[in-house]
């Protein structure tokens, strides 16, 4: 047996269709119950509980108890990053699930990816931050510049007040629908939270879709580009 990480074990956990659907639902960053995840996976509650036990034992999800209720969420940003990358790979190879309806173009235009902004608007913001020197690539890493600290502070984000986390401050995440990068990490989460606080955007309950108000879309365009690309 060769030394090193065993990717087959993690791949097997993700590879089951029911568990893959559960993990995809949790990429929204929301904590969901076993019943909600059973509905997402299209399986019985008993079957869902067995799958959730395996995902928890494998370190991909965590369990949180609130009174008599149990809620599940992804174990870390790293898990979400891997899932989004796999979704991009699947989309690139033509392995797509067909879910027709008005939410599909909305998902591609703007959605949440583990509490940061993804889709067309997410990649537009990322491109603008790079072009303006707020972010810069340093090898394979992404970092916030000195000028970028001023921009972020001016946007209303207290960098020193961000929660302590193992997640990096800045990280690019491959967007599955755009096939380009959007901003993840603590800064990506803080930027999207600030947009919500400003009333620019709201999440559509029960989905990953993000909708911008008319004023919010105009403010976004002013802050991150000369007009929104159409999704």
65-106 tens-digit pLDDT:
877 788 998 998 888 888 878 887 776 666 555 443 335 788
Helix ranges (DSSP H) in 143-200: 146-154, 185-197
Long-range contacts of range 218-225, CB-CB < 8 Å, 24 or more positions apart? 220/121, 220/125, 220/195, 223/128, 223/155, 224/124, 224/125, 224/128, 224/129, 225/124, 225/127, 225/128
Is the pLDDT confidence value at 4 over 70? no
* Tens of pLDDT, residues 127-170: 999 999 999 988 878 999 999 999 999 999 999 998 877 778 99
Q: What is the pLDDT of residue 97?
A: 55
Kindly state the percentage of the chain with pLDDT values over 70: 90
Question: How far is residue 167's CA from residue 115's CA, in Å, rounded to a whole number?
Answer: 13
Q: What is the pLDDT of residue 102?
A: 39
Query: Residue holding tokens 């870390």?
Result: 76
Is the pLDDT confidence value at 45 over 60? yes
Q: What is the pLDDT of residue 139?
A: 81
Describe the crossing of helices 214-224 and 120-131 by its angle, rounded to 10 degrees: 30
The pTM of the full predicted model, rounded to 2 decimals, is 0.66
Residue 205 — φ and ψ, nearest 5°? -55, 135
- Among 17-21, 62-66, 184-188, which is the least confidently predicted range? 62-66
Q: What is the pLDDT of residue 181?
A: 86
Mean pLDDT confidence for 94-120 = 74
Mean pLDDT confidence for 193-222 = 93
Q: What is the pLDDT of residue 60?
A: 94
Question: How far is residue 146's CA from residue 137's CA, in Å, rounded to a whole number?
Answer: 14
Considering only residues 91 and 52, tell me which one the structure prediction assigns the higher pLDDT: 52
Q: What is the pLDDT of residue 90?
A: 76
* Strands annotated E in the chain: 61-66, 69-74, 111-113, 116-118, 135-138, 141-144, 171-174, 181-184, 201-203, 210-212
């Amino acid at each position: 047996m060769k030394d090193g990480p065993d990717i087959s074990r993690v791949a097997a956990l993700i590879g089951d269709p029911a568990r893959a659907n559960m993990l995809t639902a949790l990429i929204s960053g929301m904590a969901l119950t076993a019943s909600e995840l059973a509905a997402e996976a299209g399986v019985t509650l008993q079957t869902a509980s067995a799958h959730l036990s395996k995902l928890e034992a494998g370190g991909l999800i965590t369990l949180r108890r609130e009174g008599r209720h149990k809620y599940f969420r992804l174990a870390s940003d790293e898990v979400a990053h891997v899932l989004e990358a796999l979704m991009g790979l699947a989309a690139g190879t033509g392995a797509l699930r067909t879910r027709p309806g008005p939410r599909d173009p909305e998902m591609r235009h703007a959605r949440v990816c583990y509490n940061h902004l993804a889709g067309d608007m997410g990649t537009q913001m990322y491109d603008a931050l790079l072009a303006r020197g707020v972010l810069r690539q340093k090898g394979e890493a992404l970092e916030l510049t000195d000028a970028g600290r001023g921009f972020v502070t001016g946007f209303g984000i207290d960098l020193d007040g961000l929660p302590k986390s193992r997640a990096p401050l800045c990280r690019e995440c491959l967007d599955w629908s755009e096939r380009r990068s959007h901003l993840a990490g603590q800064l990506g989460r803080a930027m999207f939270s600030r947009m919500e606080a400003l009333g620019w955007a709201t999440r559509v309950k029960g989905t990953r879709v993000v909708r911008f108000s008319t004023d919010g879309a105009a403010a976004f365009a002013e802050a991150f580009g000369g007009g929104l690309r159409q999704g």
